[in-house]
Amino acid sequence: MDSQRDVLVIGGGIFGAAIAWALGRRGLGQRVLILERGQPAGGATSRAAALVTMARDDPALMALAKETFQAMAVLEGEYGEDVGRHTVGALHVGSASHAEALQARARHCASFGIDSHWLDKSQALARAPWLAPQSFELAAFYPDECFVEPYLLSSAYLRTATLLGAQVRLSSDVQSIGVMHGRVTGVHLTDGTHLPASVVINAAGAWANLLSTDLGLPLPMAPVRSQYWITEPAIQFPRDGAIVLIPEIRAYARPEMGALLFGVREKQPVAVNPRHLPKDLTGFVFDPDDADGWQNLGEGAQSLADYFPAVNTLGLAHYITGPSNYTPDGQLIIGASRAIAGLFVATGCNGSGITFSGGVGRLVAELVSGAPTFVAPEVFDPQRYGDIDPYAVDFLASCAAARAMKSSG
Ligand SMILES: Cc1cc2nc3c(=O)[nH]c(=O)nc-3n(C[C@H](O)[C@H](O)[C@H](O)COP(=O)(O)OP(=O)(O)OC[C@H]3O[C@@H](n4cnc5c(N)ncnc54)[C@H](O)[C@@H]3O)c2cc1C
């Protein structure tokens, strides 16, 4: 191995790729080696609905999301990458009783320079003809919001990172992170190889705890089932239709090649112990008794029909599911170990890792290089919950509950 490569990134999902890219942009590319045991973006990343939205209530998360828009502009403009971006804008719709919340969000976003304006009902329906006209009273439109092709965005980070000097090593299954005298020494692969390093960044997604917990760094998160459905194509789903967010029922939808992709946040999300998660997610089912997730929706499906009546008559062509890492407080997990020098972690996406990827990459690169950070990192501190047991049933339940509370934005 190239002895200069002393910064190891575990995981070639969108977080690992964005971190390598951001390190490369800071002139550190020649030091970076990404270790991926499967295919890049083959974990949660390629399964994402990939809404990329800045309009949120939490300023730290907005800052991360804004960075992703900056990163996409650089990838497209400077490197000619196609990230599959569809800037269709996002409609936030609600009943009169939800008006205050929608208005507060629009004001809050304006103070962060995020543009929005109100649409009347006919203007809103022109952007989302599938919405039942009587189902909403207010519609705020955020014109800059988009969705992307997650595999393309992740590949763009990775390809550009390699142009900037980083290397990717496939078939590299990390068994453990080496530590001696309070410093990382590198990683051990399952094939017996030891790769020395002075910096190790754990971006192993849903599997990150399997590498961290035994080092005394339990990560306050659990993989929780995320899911969405795609209808059959139909005339009421224009390809350039808007993303629609319905905070009252925690639902979202977006166009998908003449069909509608939608998700409704279910009442009782399913968390899984990461020890029971296979390395390859192909064919993995969270709940064998509810393989298409529909039962679990319960009243979510009923309330969705109020907004989207055709959901009861249209055929559903696809059901996509995968793990997202939820934390009890809804914040990501980004930072350094206090006990082990050179050990960093970046995970805990809370179902929005595509959206936050640019910010996660930048923040990790700043922390690793000791530069001032663009956002206060304390809120993302991996040790903020102390010495928890991330595999305990109660803890898994608290992470699942965090998904149930997540707003659709
Ligand atoms: C159904 C669904 C819908 C979603 N919708 C959205 C959305 O609309 N918007 C949004 O922003 N986000 C969305 N997400 C979330 C998004 O997909 C994730 O936040 C994001 O992909 C997380 O990226 P990651 O790199 O942390 O994890 P992953 O993509 O899972 O990458 C982790 C990588 O680490 C590798 N790895 C793990 N352990 C090891 C090891 N020991 N050695 C070597 N390699 C290892 C894995 O093989 C994997 O490739 C959705 C997720 C799902 C499942």
Q: Can you give the pLDDT at residue 406? A: 67
User: Residue 221: is its pLDDT beyond 50?
Assistant: yes
Q: Is the pLDDT of residue 33 over 50?
A: yes
Query: How far, in Å, from the CA of 218 to the mean position of ligand 1?
Result: 19
Distance from residue 51's CA to the centre of ligand 1 (Å): 14
Largest CA distance in the chain: 66
**Residue in 9, 15, 86, 209 to alter for ligand 1 test, most ligand atoms within 8 A of Cβ:** 15
Position 270, amino acid = V
**What integer best gives the mean pLDDT of the chain?**
95
The CATH number given to 86-144+223-324 is 3.30.9.10
Strand partners, 245: 92, 252
The domain spans of the chain are 7-69+150-221+328-395, 86-144+223-324
pTM above 0.95, yes or no: yes
Q: Which CATH superfamily is domain 7-69+150-221+328-395 in?
A: FAD/NAD(P)-binding domain (3.50.50.60)
Alpha carbons 92 and 348: distance in angstroms, whole number: 25
Q: Rounded to whole angstroms, how far apart are CA atoms 228 and 320?
A: 5
The helix (run of H) or strand (run of E) holding residue 153 is helix 150-163
DSSP labels, 322-346? EEEEE-TTS--EEEE-SSSBTEEEE
pLDDT at position 3 is 56
DSSP string across 84-126: --B---EEEEE-GGGHHHHHHHHHHHHHTT---EE--HHHHHH
Going from the C-alpha of 281 to that of each of 38, 41, 389, the distances in angstroms are 10, 12, 24
**Interval 278-301: pLDDT, tens:** 999 998 988 888 877 777 776 677
Residue 45 near residue 13 (C-beta atoms within 8 A): yes
Cβ-count burial of 369 within 10 angstroms (0-12 exposed, 13-18 middle, 19+ buried)? middle
Instruction: Tell me how far apart the alpha carbons of residues 146 and 192 are, in angstroms, rounded to a whole number.
Output: 44
pLDDT at 306: 94
Of 402, 389, 396, 403, the closest CA to residue 272 belongs to 396
Substitution site in 153, 221, 226 for ligand 1 pocket (most atoms within 8 Å of beta carbon): 226
CA 40 / ligand 1 centre spacing (Å):
10
CB 327 less than 6 A from any atom of ligand 1 = no
Going by CA atoms, what residue is nearest to atom 4 of ligand 1?
48
Helices within 249-298 (DSSP H only): 294-297
Task: Establish whether domains 7-69+150-221+328-395 and 86-144+223-324 are of one fold.
Answer: no
Q: What are the pLDDT digits (tens) for 249-283?
A: 999 999 999 999 999 877 788 899 999 999 999 98
Collect all residues with Cβ–Cβ distance below 8 Å to 279 and sequence separation of at least 6.
Answer: 37, 38, 173, 207
Segment (H or E) for 34: strand 32-35
Q: Is the pLDDT of residue 407 over 60?
A: no
